[in-house]
Structure 1
Amino acid sequence: MIKFQLNRYNSRASRYSNSGKRVDLTSRIGKIGREALFAIVVVISCAIAAPVKAAERLTIRLGPFQQSVEIGDLEKFAETGKLSPALKPYRSLLTPEIQQLLNRRLQIDPSLTEKFVNDLLRSSDGVRVLDQISLALPNSSVEELKAALILAARQANGFSVLSFLRSYPEEDVVVDASAAIAIVVQLNTPYLESIALAPLLEQEMATTDDTPFQSSFDPAVGGKESVYERTVRLRDGERQRTILVDLYWTDRTSGPLIILSHGFASDRKFLTYLARHLASYGFTVASVEHPGSNFSSLSGGSLASNFENILPPSEFIDRPLDVSFVLNELAQMNEGYGSLRDKLNTKQVTVIGHSLGGYTALALAGGKLDLADLREFCKNRSPLRRAPADWFQCAATKLSDDNIQLEDKRVVQAIAFNPVTGRLFGKEGLAQVRVPTLILTGTADTITPSLDHQLRPFAQLGGSKYLIAAIGGTHLSVTDPGNLNDALAQSTLVKELTGKDAEPLRELLRGVSLAFIKQLTPEAKLYEPFLTPAYPESLSTSTLKLRMNTQLPPSIGSWLEVMTMQNRQIALRLPKVNQWLIGGIRLPFSPSTQVVTKAECCTAQLNQIFTDLLNHYNEG
């Protein structure tokens, strides 16, 4: 049987009696609370991603409460969809989707079973996950996990969560549900797909030339120009928005105007290091703060179940309009008599955005929203198997106009770091982007996972394009170190690669961004070598492998085809890639809530925001 113990004390639920005996909660499980109920679903689903002890009983501890169910009842539910009397209190949790997850099987070539498991246990990602699993399974051992994995994987009908539970060499299993929740926040399907793809990106995007990269100068080193800085406050009376803009310029200004657009819950200081670097080469930079989705707009606010409470749907329109408005205002300043006269080239603009700012850049560059496709995607709002940005984009479904035009013809280049795209542009919306575009993806980004938010969108782009892949890079790896509390970032359950470890990526972005923008100047040829695969590879480290190309390798397309297969022997499909990763993504991983210290600054609070959103999730 399975015993569920609930982690959070609830005065409305049954408690321990005065005699110390546990009181049955079967009739009162519905009153325990949404978070505890969701935790149960998470841990059941997590059993597939992070196999848990079980043969006869599974004890999930969530505080002083517990409830028992037979494993056989779960097996019957998986087979027939019918709930036994003992399972009926969990009817809101045991949905058809959960039934499908329990029945999903992974076929592994029997001759590769032991190799499959060993690769899992020895790989760096596997070791990391298993370390976390040890917190969720305090009485487990690697040997027991390995034995259960091998036995379950050898089953004739394939590996599944139920076959694993029956294969575990212990009668009773103890699961710390709060620790399990901490694990599964990193185990949403899009993220794991991206992790599985990382070795292939590293291999297939590598240059075949062994000649070390050489150059007579380093574009990541600051330029010779002295940089002036000034903050201006602009008021858009029509939209009732006050927009702060940090301006960076030099005495000798040339080339396009550069606009910086920050991500959700951040501010205009997010990429200060990049703004100063580009300005030191004679470009004028304007870093825009979006009042409807910056840090200040969220401070002190309470989060409820609706996306509109944290991000108004109109913000998907207002952000690009903020940039267009700022360009109009700067065009007037350029004709004035102050120190900025003739230093604001608003007729030729490069937009650089991070996260939601990446969406902003792509929309301004010509990306067309596809709200019909987005609404179809967002119909099933179950938290299972969704990354935070997959939820986040669904706020836009409330927009009423299906023919929104956000393109600004003054934008002649776009750079998007870890952009939120997902289904916002549908399957063809980014094909409308004809200006040169550069996209950065981080394979360890749990907020905007690489596959759905960068790689597939990159393939759509219609103009000349560059893809930078940071193997091991996370969502906040690009941030200005002076604008992010590194200790705070590392305190979250979703770990971020920041600080010194991420400096090679920031160095690359300084050099590549400069070289990319220089293509609009007479020095284009001089900077072309820094837009070749050899340059990022020269900056790679053991922690962070850096790659760049103008197209997705053909093998990536084949890999995506493998991903769509069900119930196939896929362990031999891609022998050069970690087989457990390729196989593992077919298992029904799911995301969940997490408990973190409330962030005090900028995008470091992203995890908390999505945590609260999921905590208050309401299917109705």
Structure 2
Amino acid sequence: MFGFLSSLKVSAEKNLKNITLGTLAAVLTVLPVYAQSRLVFIYPPINLSLGIDSLELFANEGVINKELAYYMNLAGVNDEEKQAFREALLKKADLNPVEVSRFFNSPMGQELLQRVGHLFSIQGGRNGVYAIRGAMVQAAFDEEEGLTLLNFLRHLPVNMQFNLEEILRAATYLELLGQGTNAIVTEMKSISAQTREQETVPNFSNIRDIRQRGDYGVGPSRRLRLFDESRQREFDVVLVQPQRWREGKTPVIIFSHGLASRPEDFKEDVLQLVSYGYVVALPQHPGSDFNQLQEMLQGFSREIVKVDEYVDRPLDVSYVIDELERRNRREFEGRLDLNNVGVMGHSFGGYTALALAGAKLNFDSLEEICGRNLWGPNLSLLLQCRALELPRKDYDFREERITSTLVINPVTSAVFGPEGLSQVSIPVLLAAGSSDPATPAAIEQLQAFVWINTDDKYFALVEGQAHVNFTKLDAQMQAVLDSLPDLTLPNQKVIDTYGNALLVAFAEVYTAKNEEFRPYLTSSYAYYISKEPNPLHLVQDDAEIPFSELFNRSKSARSRAIYPRNIIPSND
């Protein structure tokens, strides 16, 4: 789900900076007004309007009538931008209309439209959520033209207004977030360079390349069906073991998948760990997995994620450890070290891992952030704000058998906040991407890293990484990607090699307790394996170069994006 939304967001971000009155519909909503309807632009005391028939004439015949010419001249639109706008009006989004309808009737889909409807409302100011949803669904069902921006506009039942003051606030927020992210990248480079000067490391060309598979091979994998009687919850876990066993105890890693995902999506990634002698368990979290998404799209459920998943996900992992303890003697000859388990997770799985590491749900933080009219580009808040539906109590998911955690693009800022994340005290490696619109690094990961209260913590940033592995999208999502203009995808093969190295290095040092691998957890090693156009930066928060320097140096641009109270007002 975040894969689809992230793809749209990556494309839209490039256009927001050049918002103009004449092209506002195309740029901001990337949504498709009947020809008799008008678009109204409100920027007190200015009140202007544009007929949809003017846009239709321009899109179909390339003719710019007097009305549209006024807006284009006002905005200073050049010939290249005019052509791009015309193409955007007619570009078809190849989406299943039934699934479009079901998604926007789900709680997360409704919330997304509610936020858009605050910017693009019915004339007079009423939220445009229902008009937008109806027009999108009708356009998607149009067999002849399909879901295009122009066809969407044709199907709007009433005049709609763009609330330019709020839109420009949102655009400013997005621009500030971009500046903040750029500041983080710049400071990561600077601090990494300073750190490399102080590090004493081996010649990496002369030692083992941990990007390559290990010596223990990959043995059999199996899918187990587990039933937790205390919760009446049944779920699968994929268990993968090495071909040959280590001497002594065998370390165990548990990997938690993200929203609308499944264990198999990460199996190739964890096989690197298995080849280094680890047993890896990948639980499937029903209620927030790929099957739940399919149930929603097929009409068997209204929800992409069940709110109880905030509770059930960490309990699933604890139950997997319980199950491995029951099986350890008879199936593994007592080899498994289940007192030093490592937990890893991606996105919503990152929430899961951090909750198990001791992070506490923070309802005060959730209420404050989710109560704002706008969230800017942080798509993960669609997920995080669902946690407000939980019963209010002190949830404690800390799993003492888990002694380290590695999280990738984790969901953190609202659901935990500074108070919740300060409860984490075990070693943490937090990985982020500079182009992630689902969980933006400046908001979701950098803050989390500073708030986490442990001496052993690492921050890894990959330039250009955008939350999802674009090579693993299904055909429909790939079609959506292909329809987006000017979309530059990261080099996934290179990013995968970073993952191979970091997973092994962190697990060896903090789960297997093997100090020989510590040189790989350095800025020098990250620099050694880093490749353009998606370089890797790795920094440890230590006494010599406190990570808070990065937080402080990039504060001017970054903090205004993270805390845009003067840009985006609350509902009060």
The TM-score bracket by the shorter chain reads: 0.5 to 0.7
**Amino acid paired to 2:266:** L
- Aligned equivalents of 1:266, 1:186: Cα separation in 2: 31
Distance 1:269 1:263 in 2: 12
Instruction: Tell me how far apart the structure 2 counterparts of residues 58 and 445 of structure 1 sit (CA, whole Å).
Output: 24
- Residues 259 and 347 in structure 2, CA contact (< 8 A), matched pair in contact too: yes
Q: Distance in 2 between matches of 1:269 and 1:187?
A: 40
Corresponding position: 1:216 with 2:210: no
Q: 1:438 aligns with which of 429, 436, 439?
A: 429
Post-superposition CA distance 1:17-65 (Å, at most 9, x none): xxxxxxxxxxxxxxxxxxxxxxxxxx9x9996323266xx989784634
SS of 1:135's equivalent in the other structure is helix
Aligned pairs for 1:34-433 (under 5 A) are 49-52=17-20, 62=33, 64-67=35-38, 74-76=43-45, 135-136=84-85, 189=174, 192=178, 195-197=181-183, 199-208=185-194, 209=196, 213-228=204-219, 229-250=221-242, 251-253=244-246, 254-302=249-297, 309-336=303-330, 338=331, 340-380=332-372, 382-383=373-374, 385-433=376-424
The residue identity in structure 2 corresponding to 1:544 is N
How big is the shift at 1:411?
Answer: 0.6
Rounded to whole Å, the distance in 1 between the matches of 2:500 and 2:80 is 35
Deviation at 1:375, TM superposition (A): 1.6
Alignment gaps of 5+ in structure 1: 1-42, 78-83, 88-129, 140-174, 566-581, 591-618
3-state SS of paired residue (1:433): coil
Distance 1:384 1:374, change over 3 A: closer
Q: In structure 2, what is the Cα distance between the partners aligned to 1:252 and 1:68? A: 67
- What's the secondary structure of 1:234's corresponding residue? strand
1:524 aligns with 2:514: yes
The answer (yes or no) to whether the contact 1:365–1:411 under 8 Å persists in 2 is: yes
Contact 1:489–1:495, Cα closer than 8 Å, also in 2: no
Matched position secondary structure for 2:432: strand
CA contact (8 A) 2:341 2:511 kept: no
SS in 1 for 2:282: strand
The structure-2 alpha-carbon separation of the partners of 1:187 and 1:470, relative to structure 1 and needing over 3 Å to count, comes to farther
Counterpart-to-counterpart distance in 1, 2:276 and 2:519: 18
- 2: distance between equivalents of 1:309 and 1:131? 42
Distance 1:325 1:187, change over 3 A: farther
- Partners of 1:47 and 1:216 in 2: how far apart? 46
Alignment-mate amino acid for residue 429 of structure 2: L
Cα pair 2:450 2:548 within 8 Å, conserved? no
1:296: Cα distance to partner? 0.5
One-letter identity of the residue aligned with 1:247: L
Deviations 1:527-546 (A, max 9, x none): 11110011122222222021
Residue identity matched to 1:457: A
TM-score (norm 2): 0.66
Aligned-residue RMSD, C-alpha:
4.2
Contact 2:16 2:171 in 1 (8 A): no
Q: CA distance change for structure 1 residues 309 and 537 in 2, over 3 Å: closer, same or farther?
A: same
Residue matched to 1:14: none
Deviation, structure 1 residue 200: 1.8
CA 1:416–1:132: 2 relative to 1, 3 Å? farther
Q: CA deviation at 1:213?
A: 4.9
- Whichever structure has more helix as a proportion of its residues is 2
| Mapped contact 1:518–1:527 kept (Cα < 8 A) | yes
Taking the aligned partners of 1:494 and 1:370, their CA distance within structure 2 comes to 39
* SS of alignment partner, residue 438 of structure 1: strand
Distance 1:326 1:413, change over 3 A: same
Q: Is the 1:48–1:588 Cα contact (8 Å) retained in structure 2?
A: no
Deviation of residue 233 (structure 1)?
0.9
Q: Aligned with 2:380: secondary structure?
A: helix
The whole-number CA distance in structure 1 between the counterparts of 2:256 and 2:451 is 22
Quick one: distance in 2 between partners of 1:522 and 1:370?
Answer: 32
Aligned length: 434
User: Closer, same or farther in 2 for the Cα pair 1:264/1:564, shift >3 Å?
Assistant: closer
Task: Name the CA shift for 1:323/1:68 in 2 (closer, same or farther; >3 Å).
Answer: closer
Deviation at residue 386 of structure 1 after TM alignment: 4.4
Residue type of the alignment partner of 1:240: Q
Match of 2:444 in 1: 453
Cα deviation for residue 292 of structure 1 reads 1.2
Residue 393 and residue 521 in structure 1: after superposition, are their counterparts in 2 closer, same or farther (change >3 A)?
closer
Rounded Cα–Cα distance in structure 2 between residues aligned with 1:133 and 1:544:
32
> Which sections of structure 2, spanning at least 5 residues, go unmatched?
1-11, 27-31, 50-78, 89-147, 154-161, 542-546
